[in-house]
Each structure stands twice: as C-alpha cells, then as structure tokens.
Amino acid sequence: MKLSCGFWQTFKEVPNDAEITSHQLLIRAGLIQKANAGLYNYLPAGYRVIRKVENIVREEMDKAGCLELLMPVVTPGELWQESGRWDKMEGLMLKFKDRGGRDLCISPTNEESITDVFRKTVKSYKQLPVTLYQINTKFRDEIRPRYGLMRAREFIMKDAYSFHSDKASLDEIYDRLFKAYENVFKRIGLEFIAVEADGGAMADGDAKTHEFQVVAENGEDEVIYCPKSGYAANREKAQTKRKATDFIKTDAPIEAVDTPNAKTIEEVASFLKIAPHHTLKSVLYTAIWGEGEKAKEKHFLILLVGDDSLNEIKLKNHVKADFLLPTQEHIIKDMGLVPGFVGAYNAPKDLHIIYDAAIDLNAAYVTGAELDKHYINFVPNRDAKAENVVDLRLAQAGDLDQKTGEEVIIKKGIEVGHIFQLGNKYTKALECTVLGQDGRPMNPLMGCYGIGVTRIVSAAIEQCNDENGIIWPKAIAPYQVHFLTITKKGAIDEFAGGMYQEIVDAKLETIYDDRDLGPGFKFKDADLLGIPVQVVLGERDYAKDEMIEVKSRKTGERVRVKREDLISTIQNFLEKAQ
Ligand code: ATP
Ligand code: MG
C-alpha cells in the first residue's frame, strides 16, 4: 500500500475516552475508528490484523478436525424462549421485532442456534462426535463498553460447539481444542496462561472449563498463578490455602467488651491491640431464587478470618442463587442487628451462618456483639454450632497452592478464549435428541469454545508496545515491511518505486511511505504503526554508496546493505522477529 493515497491517517493526540495503551494506539495508528460507544469501524490496516488473527484461528480449528459454517447474526426469539434465556439475558441482548411482529435478537452467543442446526441434521449417535464453528459478529449491550476492542458491544468471535454421545468423547475433543487454543496463542506470539475458570452455579461437578488469559497490566481479570507448581485459576474460582496463621487457643470464656465506634476490622483490631486475623469478619448477603411474586429469599451471615475477603462467586455457586444482594439496611433493621457489630454468637435464628474453611473452629476470635460491643474469646466450635463450613474466601497473593504448598502470585489477565463443557443443558432444553447406542433417544452432550478475535488485537498491543507505539508480533502485523524514503518528492521517486515493487514481488507485504513529508514524521509514523521491519532509503546515502538501511522495529538493530542484498536481509530480519 502506498501512503500517498492519503487515506491512512495517524493522530498525535490521545482521544479522551481511550484509557488504556492499546485503545490509544489503535486509534492513534489509524487502525480503528469509533462509530459509537463500543462500536468501531475496522480501518484497512486494522482489518488486515483482524483477518490474520482469523486465519490463524481457522487453520488451527481445521487442523483439529472442526467444520466451519456460518449462522445468521440475527436469531429468532423462539429459540431463546425454548432455552429460557430470552428473559435471562435481558439487557445484554439487543432485541427487536420484524415487520411481522416476530421477536428477533442480534446474537450475543450461539448455543441455541447451533443446537437448532444440529437437531435438524443429526439423527444418530453414529454421526457423533462433530465440532462446528463459525467466525462471526456478536453483539452484547455491555454495561460499560470500554478499552476499545477489548470490551466492545459489537465484536468478532470464533465460536465452536461440539456434540457427543458420551463424556469420554466430550473430554477427548475438549482436550484437543485446549491444545488447538494453545497453538493459536503461541502462533500469534502472546504470553498467555490457561486457567481453571468458574463454571457457574449450574455447572455439573466434573464439567471442565478453562479460560485463556493474556498476561497484561490492563487486564480486567485476575489470575492466581503458581510459577512452581503450574496451578493457575481465575481468582473468581481459585482455591488456595492461607499461609500458616497464629490462631489463638484459650480456655477463657466468651466475654463482651466495649469497643466504642469501632466498626471495621481495622478499627476493632487497633482498639483491642490485636492482629486482624484474630477477629472474624461478618458479611451479610441475601440470596434470591425466582423473580417477582414467586421470589424466595434467604439471609446469610458469612464469617471469614478478619483479614480475608469474600469471593461472591463462590458464595453464589454454593447457595445456587439466581441473585445475590449484599447487606441491605432492611435486613439489619428487621433483625435488630447493628451494622459493624454483627457476629455469630446469639445471631438471629433466620440468619443462615456459613463459616469460611480457613477459620480454625477451635481458636478464639473477636466477633461482633451489639452496639459498641464485641465479644472476645469466641470459639466457634464451643460457643456456636459451627456446622456449615465452606471455602468462600477470595484467594490472595502469598497464599499456598493446596496441593504442593508453593506460594501463588496474582497477575492481571485479558480473557481471550474460553472453553466450557456444557453437558446436555441446551440439547435438553431444545429437546434435541439423537438415537443412542442402546436404541433409545438421548440428549447429546455439548462443549463450547470461544475466542475473542477482535479482543486479541487489543491484547496483543497491550503486550507488545513501547513509548513510540505498537510492536506487532510478526504473525499478525498488518504488513511485514515498512518502506520509507527520506527525500523530496520527485528526486528518486522512480528508483524508490522500483525498489518497492521488488520488495512486493518477493511476496513481502509492504507499506510504502511515499508521502511528501520530512523524515521526522515518517519515522514517528513507522514506529507508531509498528511493522516488524523498516527499510529506509535516504537520497543522500544512496547517492553516496548505494546503501539502504534495514531496521528491526522491536530491537532497534539496523544494518546498511547493498540493493542486491536487500531482500535476503529483510527475510533474515523477519525470521529473527517473533
Ligand atoms: P467477559 O467475562 O470478558 O465479559 P465472557 O466470559 O462473557 O467475557 P464468553 O461468553 O466466554 O465471554 O465469550 C468468548 C470470548 O469472547 C471471550 O473469551 C472474549 O475473548 C470475547 N468477548 C466476550 N465479550 C467481549 C466483548 N464485550 N468485547 C470483545 N470481546 C469479547
Ligand atoms: Mg468467558
């Protein structure tokens, strides 16, 4: 592409709403353009990157034996009503009616559609397993679209779905796609971790699910990772052990003491001159099942070691609630509790108490009593019925891997892929059956496998940039070579044009900066766009000794070569680039 065509533009200014590096660079380098909140025009150079990502994904899916198809972006409401998600996905899903008054939506995901395709096609277990995939546009009306392509409303996703007659087959394909995902992210050149993910409250106990997280400071997810043992889980799901804690053992009886105005753990611990982990933190939640008049609710008091915090996802999965609401003033008032002074001892009967598994039930703690008072020497096993013990704490950096005892760390991650064993949830809901081996109809098991194609573009920039701009991993760079001239328009145009053609003829994807601009602008733009190899033709240099400069965007390494060595040098630089 010749830049003199004038369409490609770069920007010096950082757009107001671009909070993170990748968003800023995508806009500044002229790769995308905002159309509306969470909606982007993929401009020519940006779309080349997207297509490269798509091609890598496609090749690896095909290699894993998956079949590509394409389903409509618009899906009928009836399918979502069959699965029960028409109401559940309210908000996230963009719904509308056609001229005949029929309900439609723009797909946020396609489990229903694919199950419909499958049930219209496959009749017998003999046609299984099969894995189908598409690369297509999705729309999710995200509450907070932000960070450019990272959390957009419209985005490109590769979604695959597998169908099986038994769990062994599901496991086999799951593992195969796990490997295909590893290949995809390795080929793109990203540093990633595959982590155990949360399967949600409805997931079957042995249903596997993993996320592929690209390690990046601006990631929205937190990953718990043990470099020594290799344990890795989304923090929402992570189960770790607290480091050995000096819990207090005593025979002293429980006793109420004054703690005027001391409400928070810090205030109580500092007032009583004790460590926070010698107190119990009380957290109140209301779990709700069903909606409207039929809704049922239960109130929970969760007790945690004072310096721990609650993992809401674990609580929601444990109580299997549809909704979970943190403390509301009305429960406190109805039950006569005083915020900041709630404890497990003599708690109201309709409050369901759960002890976090990290609490030593035979140790003594400080716990809330009544206004301006706390109990000291509260021993759960002695002073209350501590029956309900569940792992509900949020994993922390410095915790220990439950299996090996090695220390874990926290890293920020961007979820670029997610694989999930769905079981027969959708085939059952959509009454999709095939003839089983025993001659009876059965609901096939399903797996689903997503990759955020456009999110990968943001993730790659988050990982690969410097103060001057993007440094594309070779596999997804919009072009391989950025050829620019330092010369006045006209002087050696013809000669430079010939050289550009020579590079193109060598099958190197090349951008040619033939604009009538000073070298400063051209170099800045080249660094901003981040093509792996830069080739610089200086008029004076060339006139002197016919030498051309080849430079690596990433390492800054540069050499001056003769024209006959140009192509081999570029190829050499590309080989070395990641
Ligand atoms: P998140 O937790 O980030 O909202 P999700 O878990 O809801 O994502 P999935 O349903 O697992 O997303 O979708 C598969 C993949 O699609 C994700 O792993 C992610 O890479 C991508 N994706 C999801 N939502 C968005 C979005 N709003 N913008 C861009 N990519 C997205
Ligand atoms: Mg996900």
Nearest CA to ligand 1 atom 27: 151
Question: What pLDDT was estimated at residue 335?
Answer: 85
Written as tens digits, the pLDDT of the chain (578 aa) is 899 888 999 999 988 999 999 999 999 999 999 999 999 999 999 999 999 999 999 999 999 999 999 999 999 999 999 999 999 888 999 999 999 999 999 999 999 999 999 999 999 999 999 999 999 999 999 999 999 999 999 999 999 999 999 999 999 999 999 999 999 999 999 999 999 999 876 666 678 999 999 999 999 999 999 999 999 999 999 999 999 899 999 999 999 999 999 999 999 999 999 999 999 999 999 999 988 888 899 999 999 999 999 999 999 999 998 888 888 888 888 888 888 888 989 888 889 999 999 999 999 999 999 999 999 999 999 999 888 999 999 999 999 999 999 999 999 999 999 999 999 999 999 999 999 999 999 999 999 999 999 999 999 999 999 999 999 999 999 999 999 998 777 667 788 899 999 999 999 999 999 998 999 999 999 999 999 999 999 887 777 777 899 999 999 999 999 999 999 999 999 999 97
Of 80, 82, 102, nearest to 93 by C-alpha is 80
Question: What pLDDT was estimated at residue 203?
Answer: 64
Question: What pLDDT was estimated at residue 15?
Answer: 87
Any atom of ligand 1 within 6 Å of the Cβ of 140 = yes
Q: How large is the angle between the packed helices 167-188 and 44-63, nearest 10 degrees?
A: 140
Residues within 5 A (CB) of ion ligand 2: 418
Chain centre to alpha carbon of residue 229? 23
Chain centre to alpha carbon of residue 29? 24
- With a CB cutoff of 8 Å and minimum separation 6, the contacts of 222 are 234, 235, 410, 411, 412, 413
Any atom of ligand 1 within 6 Å of the Cβ of 453 = no
175-183, Cβ contacts within 8 angstroms, sequence gap of 24 or more: 176/64, 176/65, 177/64, 177/66, 177/131, 177/419, 177/447, 177/449, 178/210, 178/419, 179/64, 180/60, 180/61, 180/63, 180/64, 181/60, 181/212, 181/417, 181/419, 181/449, 181/451, 183/60, 183/63
Which three-class secondary structure state does DSSP give residue 511?
strand
Residue in 50, 93, 455 to alter for ligand 1 test, most ligand atoms within 8 A of Cβ: 455
Question: What pLDDT was estimated at residue 200?
Answer: 77
Of 109, 204, 95, nearest to 451 by C-alpha is 109
Bridge-partner residues for 95, per DSSP?
Answer: 105
Q: Which atom of ligand 1 is nearest to the CA of 152?
A: 28
Nearest CA to ligand 1 atom 19: 452
Helix (H) / strand (E) containing 160: strand 154-164
CA distance 220 to 451: 16
Residue type, 88: K
CA distances from residue 458 to 46, 53, 100, 152 in whole angstroms, order as listed: 11, 12, 40, 11
CA distance 472 to 526: 12
> Ligand 2 centre from 447 Cα, in Å?
13
Nearest CA to ligand 1 atom 25: 151
Of 119, 110, 122, nearest to 431 by C-alpha is 119
CA distance 520 to 391: 59
- How is 421-465 classified by DSSP, letter by letter? EEETHHHHHTT--EE-TTSSEE--EEEEEEEEHHHHHHHHHHHSE
Closest ligand by atom to 136 CA: 1
Number of neighbours of residue 89 by Cβ within 10 angstroms: 17
> Ligand 2 centre from 419 Cα, in Å?
8
> Ligand 2 centre from 211 Cα, in Å?
7
Any atom of ligand 1 within 6 Å of the Cβ of 138 = no
CA distance 243 to 180: 37
The runs of H, that is alpha helices, within 193-241 are none
Question: What pLDDT was estimated at residue 462?
Answer: 98
Pairing of strands 39-42, 240-241: unpaired
> Ligand 1 centre from 452 Cα, in Å?
6
Any atom of ligand 1 within 6 Å of the Cβ of 109 = yes
CA distance 23 to 149: 7
Write down the pTM of the prediction.
0.93
CA distance 56 to 451: 12
Q: Which atom of ligand 1 is nearest to the CA of 153?
A: 27
Residue 465 near residue 457, CB atoms below 8 Å: no
Any atom of ligand 1 within 6 Å of the Cβ of 416 = yes
CA distance 539 to 286: 74
Any atom of ligand 1 within 6 Å of the Cβ of 417 = yes
Of 149, 201, 138, nearest to 33 by C-alpha is 149
Residue in 418, 422, 448, 461 to alter for ligand 1 test, most ligand atoms within 8 A of Cβ: 418
CA distances from residue 23 to 39, 147, 217, 460 in whole angstroms, order as listed: 13, 5, 14, 11
Q: Could you tell me the two tokens for 242? A: 């607290």
Number of neighbours of residue 271 by Cβ within 10 angstroms: 16
Which three-class secondary structure state does DSSP give residue 159?
strand
Closest ligand by atom to 417 CA: 1
* CB-neighbour burial class of residue 73 (10 A; exposed 0-12, middle 13-18, buried 19+): middle
Residue type, 62: D
Q: Which atom of ligand 1 is nearest to the CA of 212?
A: 18
Q: How far apart are the first and last CA of the chain?
A: 23
Identify the residue whose tokens are 């708690």.
347
CA distance 439 to 168: 19
Closest ligand by atom to 141 CA: 1
DSSP state of 33: E
Residue 103 near residue 87, CB atoms below 8 Å: no
- How is 339-405 classified by DSSP, letter by letter? TT---STT--TTEEEEEETTS-TTSBEEEEEETTEEEEEE-HHHHS----EE--BPP-TT-EETTT-
Question: What pLDDT was estimated at residue 493?
Answer: 79
